[in-house]
Amino acid sequence: MKGRIEDYRDPRLTDQLLRDIHDVAGSASSRTISLMEVCGTHTMAIARYGIRSLLPDNLKLLSGPGCPVCVTPAGYVDTAISLSRNPDVTVVTFGDLMRVPGSDSSLAVAKAAGADIRVAYSPSYALELARNQPERKVVFLAIGFETTSPSLAWTLVQAKESRLSNLSFLCACKLIPPALHALASSDEVKIDGLLCPGHVSTIIGTAPYEQLARQYGIPCVVAGFEPVDVLLSVLLLCRRIARGEAKVDIEYSRSVPKEGNPKALKLLGQVFEPADSAWRGLGTIPDSGLEIRSGLSDHDAKTVFGVDIPLGKDNPACRCGDVLRGVISPPECPLFRTACNPLTPVGACMVSGEGACAAFYKYCELEHKKGTQPHGN
């Protein structure tokens, strides 16, 4: 295959890119350059490859709210657990959500206690289950960003067309651009450039970032996930910042066309409508979520079961919210590596394979050996 993965991990290229980054950032050494990576897969890639430890001291990478599991409020998990206690209900979920703490428990604990909760790789599994078990009320836990919501939309349309009245969706899908606007307009954290999420962008394209760049003067790069991708994207942002250019670049061009995926976007518009949505750590952001359109309410679990999704309550000592806004780095949370660890996570960011706390737990020794502060104010 052309474009082998090894090419994106080539030490010769990464070495040259790092030298260029040091040159550009070095010429701005009087100031700190803060870049936010918005995607959890970037967070994990940056930690796994020890990229922070290789960057100049005045260049900071902040982790953003780009992990759907992490930003889903505890109240959603509470509602899902409550539904799973209905003896007629089978809950189907992506595996990432199983161990995320609700206010008092998790889906994993509910399953261990006997609830019928299944983990699925694809939402299409819920269709199969609903067809094969017409006596069960199947509820799919529909969370995710724009990468995932088109497949949920397709599945919902299939349920409607197949008259599968026993399949519904508990929807808490979220949209990335409104969250970026909320972060960019906040004075809490200074963001000089954005590493934009590669796979969300395969769907939404670059138009939302063009608006962000114009409105806030922040350059954006849609980045891939290998070391060369991340370093090249960091270099692009540093150059844009040095020149005072708020432009949008696509580094991950092998996957992201400028227009995104129009077919998926059209489907999203047919099935969902934007609605205010609560994000763990960011609060309620206008029009940042997706609700199932009223014409499809037969498949909306909130309507079918007459439930609402409360905010829920987090452990007051947990600082996932500050981590998700880039205000602190995970080791600055008092629970990190003590009460909160991958075996007994207190906050969602420690549970998810793409959570910033899990990434730091697994890989941050490398950062500390270099004596660098991974990020923070």
Residues contributing to the site for other proteins (CB under 8 A): 1-3, 7-8, 10, 13, 17, 20, 39-41, 66-69, 94, 96, 121-125, 144-145, 147-148, 150-151, 154, 197, 199-200, 202-203, 228, 232, 235-236, 239, 243, 249, 251, 253-257, 261, 263-264, 267, 352, 354
Q: Which residue has the tokens 């008259």?
A: 163
Q: Which is nearer to other proteins, 266 or 368 (CB)?
A: 266
The answer to whether the CB of 352 falls within 8 A of the CB of 67 is: yes
Q: Which is nearer to other proteins, 145 or 367 (CB)?
A: 145
Work out how close the CB of 61 gets to other proteins at its nearest, in angstroms, rounded to a whole number. Answer: 18
Work out how close the CB of 113 gets to other proteins at its nearest, in angstroms, rounded to a whole number. Answer: 25
The answer to whether the CB of 358 falls within 8 A of the CB of 342 is: yes
Work out how close the CB of 158 gets to other proteins at its nearest, in angstroms, rounded to a whole number. Answer: 9
Work out how close the CB of 368 gets to other proteins at its nearest, in angstroms, rounded to a whole number. Answer: 27
Q: Which is nearer to other proteins, 69 or 340 (CB)?
A: 69
Q: Which is nearer to other proteins, 135 or 161 (CB)?
A: 161
Amino acid at 328: I
225 φ, ψ to 5°? -120, 0
User: Residues near 356 by Cβ (< 8 Å), separated by ≥ 6?
Assistant: 40, 43, 63, 67, 70, 323, 324, 329, 330, 349
The angle at the Cα of 151, spanning 78 to 203, to the nearest 5 degrees, equals 110
Q: Which is nearer to other proteins, 72 or 367 (CB)?
A: 72
The rounded distance, in Å, linking the Cα atoms of 193 and 326 is 13
β-strand partners of 205:
none
The answer to whether the CB of 307 falls within 8 A of the CB of 79 is: yes
Work out how close the CB of 162 gets to other proteins at its nearest, in angstroms, rounded to a whole number. Answer: 14
Q: Which is nearer to other proteins, 250 or 367 (CB)?
A: 250
Give 336-341's long-range contacts (Cβ < 8 A, gap of 24+). 336/360, 336/361, 337/361
Work out how close the CB of 232 gets to other proteins at its nearest, in angstroms, rounded to a whole number. Answer: 6
